[in-house]
């Protein structure tokens, strides 16, 4: 007969950081009192220092930027201007962005490429104000305003959109409710009346067609149980419904099959106008065949080390990063 083992398993690990009841406790219960979750509502904190001018001067020699004069003397309106942006991980203070420079004008498509871990997603998230990161230097001007002074929701309402590389699931909140809330936040900002559920459905419905999504996705919870490709489509649906002047698409092509890639690319192209612009983060030239960028930037170790046209991407595709270094 097998020896029987007796185990009493109780969850303890998670509790260790909480206050344990003063007790003559002989059992494994824990009495837990924790502070309220109010801290989550405080806006993220951004440290802002201006870099000394000398540093900037020396940087511009080595690190090309896409400032209009440098490349083709385009004089259309600047939407986003990033200068010497540095950022650290808030918790560990580890530096990830080490001086990023980028200028985007109306009507332009940009692509950012670079090895895994080079900082592309961090750059994207810093731009939309993700609280995991702290800006330590540099400036970001969006439509003439200091972006770094704005809360994440203000940035969104001002017209900056980022589609996440890995969008989170939100159980218990349906896609339609989520879009409804987001749309009404915009209406409110514009001083327009809020829409009721039927009105919002009428706005969403044609956009569903644009991204070729079934309307049944509206009743499902946000991203819950969505496949990789479905999540990406859902991000583009949000972009289509909410609109944006600058859309940052972080690896919108990863996990998509060929047909889905075409659908998504077509949808993005459909949203492009002479007044807005798109920044695509990608690993593959393939996406750039569908959405044609004016500039391709190569990111390495938290900097943009090279900027050029789509030929860089082609070179990269053929010969890898060693061809660029």
Partner 1 sequence: MATSSTTFSHFLPHSISLSLSKPKLHFKTIQPIRATISSNLSDPLVLQIAETFEDSLSLSSSTTTPSLQKLRDTSSQSILSLSWPTVKDEPFRFTDTSFIKTCEIKPVSSIPIPSSSIPSELNDTQFANLVIVDGHVVSSYKISEFPKGVFVGSVNDIDSEVIKKRVFEFVSDFQDGDLFWSLNGIGAPDFTVVYVPSDCKVEMPLHFTFFSSESGDIGSKVLPVSNPRVLVLVEKGGEIEIIEEYFGADENQCYWVNSAMEVLIGEGGKVTHSYIQRQGPNSAHTKWTFVRQEAASTYKVVEISTGGTLSRHNLHVQQVGPDTVTEFSTFHLCVNDQTQDLHSRLVLDHPGGTSQQLHKCIVAHSSGKVVFDGNVKVNRYAQKTDAGQLTRSLLLEPRASVNLKPNLQIIADDVKCSHGAAISDLEADQLFYFRARGIDSKTARKALVLSFGAEVMNQLPHKSLRLKIEDHVKNLLTPVL
Ligand X SMILES: Nc1ncnc2c1ncn2[C@@H]1O[C@H](COP(=O)(O)OP(=O)(O)OP(=O)(O)O)[C@@H](O)[C@H]1O
Q: Does 10 bind partner 1 (CB under 8 A)?
A: yes
Q: How far apart, in Å, do the first and last CA atoms of the chain sit?
A: 67
Q: Does 164 bind partner 1 (CB under 8 A)?
A: yes
Q: Does 86 bind ligand X (CB under 6 A)?
A: no
Q: What is the DSSP letter of 209?
A: H
**Neighbour tally for 96: CB within 10 Å:** 20
Q: Does 87 bind ligand X (CB under 6 A)?
A: no
306 forms beta bridges with 298
Maximum Cα interatomic distance, the chain, rounded to a whole number of Å: 85
Q: What angle do CA 6, 8, 11 make, to 5 degrees?
A: 155
Q: Nearest Cα to 278, choosing from 260, 264, 257?
A: 264
Q: Which of 104, 113, 119, 260 binds ligand X (CB under 6 A)?
A: 119
Q: Does 206 bind ligand X (CB under 6 A)?
A: no
Nearest approach, Cβ of residue 318 and partner 1 (Å): 36
Please answer whether residues 211 and 263 qualify as being in contact, where contact means their C-beta atoms are separated by less than 8 angstroms: yes
Nearest approach, Cβ of residue 116 and ligand X (Å): 3
Q: Does 167 bind ligand X (CB under 6 A)?
A: no
Q: How far is CA 91 from CA 42, 109, 130, 203, 242, in A?
A: 16, 33, 13, 40, 32
Selection from Mg ion, ligand X, partner 1, none that 11 binds (CB < 5 to 8 A by kind) is partner 1
The residues binding partner 1 (CB under 8 A) are 2-15, 18, 21, 26-37, 40-41, 43, 128-131, 151-153, 156-157, 162, 164, 167-168, 170-173, 177-178, 181-182, 185-186, 189, 221-222, 238, 242
State the residues that interact with ligand X by CB under 6 A: 89, 96, 114, 116-122, 132, 165
């Amino acid at each position: 007969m097998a020896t029987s083992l007796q185990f009493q398993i109780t969850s303890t690990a998670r509790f260790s950081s909480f206050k344990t009841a003063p007790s003559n406790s002989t059992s494994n219960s824990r009495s837990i009192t924790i502070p309220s979750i109010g801290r989550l509502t405080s806006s993220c904190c951004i440290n802002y220092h201006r870099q000394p001018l000398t540093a900037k001067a020396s940087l511009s020699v080595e690190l090309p930027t896409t400032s209009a004069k440098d490349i083709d003397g385009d004089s259309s309106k600047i939407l986003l201007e990033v200068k010497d942006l540095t950022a650290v991980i808030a918790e560990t203070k580890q530096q990830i962005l080490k001086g990023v420079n980028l200028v985007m004008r109306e009507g332009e498509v940009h692509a950012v490429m670079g090895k895994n871990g080079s900082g592309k997603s961090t750059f994207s998230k810093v731009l939309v104000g993700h609280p995991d990161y702290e800006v330590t230097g540099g400036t970001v001007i969006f439509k003439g305003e200091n972006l770094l002074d704005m809360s994440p929701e203000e940035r969104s309402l001002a017209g900056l959109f980022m589609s996440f590389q890995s969008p989170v699931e939100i159980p218990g909140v349906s896609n339609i409710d989520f879009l409804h809330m987001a749309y009404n936040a915009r209406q409110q900002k514009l001083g327009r009346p809020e829409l009721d559920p039927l009105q919002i459905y009428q706005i969403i419905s044609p956009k569903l067609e644009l991204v070729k999504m079934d309307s049944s996705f509206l009743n499902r919870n946000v991203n819950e149980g969505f496949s990789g490709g479905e999540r990406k489509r859902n991000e583009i649906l949000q972009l289509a419904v909410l609109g944006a002047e600058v859309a940052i698409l972080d690896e919108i092509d990863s996990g998509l099959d060929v047909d889905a890639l075409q659908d998504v690319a077509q949808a993005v192209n459909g949203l492009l106008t002479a007044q807005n612009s798109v920044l695509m983060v990608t690993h593959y030239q393939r996406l750039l065949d569908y959405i044609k960028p004016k500039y391709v930037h190569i990111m390495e170790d938290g900097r943009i080390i090279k900027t050029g046209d789509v030929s860089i991407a082609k070179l990269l595709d053929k010969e890898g990063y060693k061809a660029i270094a």
